[in-house]
Amino acid sequence: MNEKRLRAREEKEIDLIDLLIEIMLHWRGLIVAFIIGGILLGGYSFMQSYRAQKAAKAAAAEAAEEEAILNAELKAEVLPDSERLEKLSERAEELKKELSDTSLANIETALSYYDQIEVLQDYLDTSVLMKADPYNLPYGNITFHISSDSEAAESIRLTYERIFSSADLFNYIKDKCGYGSEVNELISLYSSETNNDIENSAMRVDCKAATVEDCQKMVDAIIDYVKAKSAELQKTLGYHVINVVDSSVSTSYNASVAQTKIDKEAAILSRNLSLAKLTDSFNETEKEYYLNKKESGIIKGLINDKIEKKEKKAAEPVEIPALAVSKKKILIGVVLGVFVYAGILCVAYIFSQKIKDSDDFTVTFGTAQLGKMYGRREFKGFGKKLDKWLYSFKNRGRKVIDADEAAGIIATNSALSAAKANIKKLGIICAGGVEESTGSLIDKLKTAMKTENIDAKVLSQLLYSKDEAYSMKDLDAVVLVAAAGKSRYSEVWDAMEVIDNQKINILGGIMA
Answer for the pair 450, 395: CB distance below 8 angstroms, yes or no: no
Percent of the chain with pLDDT over 90: 4
Torsional sign, CA 24, 25, 30, 31:
positive
Task: Calculate ∠ Cα 96-97-103, nearest 5°.
Answer: 55
- Model confidence over 293-335: pLDDT tens digits? 888 888 888 888 888 887 777 767 778 888 888 889 889 988 9
Residue 317 DSSP symbol: P
CA distance 454 to 424: 5
Residue 16 class from Cβ within 10 Å (0-12 exposed, 13-18 middle, 19+ buried)? exposed
Measured in degrees and rounded to the nearest 5, phi and psi for residue 196 equal: 65, 15
> What does the pLDDT read at residue 193?
55
Q: Which CATH architecture has domain 130-256?
A: 2-Layer Sandwich (3.30)
Task: Report residue 11's pLDDT band, with 50, 70 and 90 as the boundaries.
Answer: low
> What does the pLDDT read at residue 8?
59
Q: Are strands 240-252 and 137-148 parallel, antiparallel or unpaired?
A: antiparallel
Residues whose CB falls within 8 Å of the CB of residue 2, separated by 6 or more in sequence, listed in order: 366
Domain range list for the chain: 130-256, 369-511
CA distance 258 to 308: 33
Of 359, 357, 351, the closest CA to residue 8 belongs to 359
Task: Report residue 430's pLDDT band, with 50, 70 and 90 as the boundaries.
Answer: confident
CA distance 295 to 84: 10
Domain 369-511 has what CATH class? Answer: alpha beta
- DSSP lists the bridge partners of residue 187 as 207
- Model confidence over 438-467: pLDDT tens digits? 657 888 888 888 888 888 888 888 777 887
pTM for this predicted structure: 0.54
What average pLDDT does the segment 227-256 reach? 85
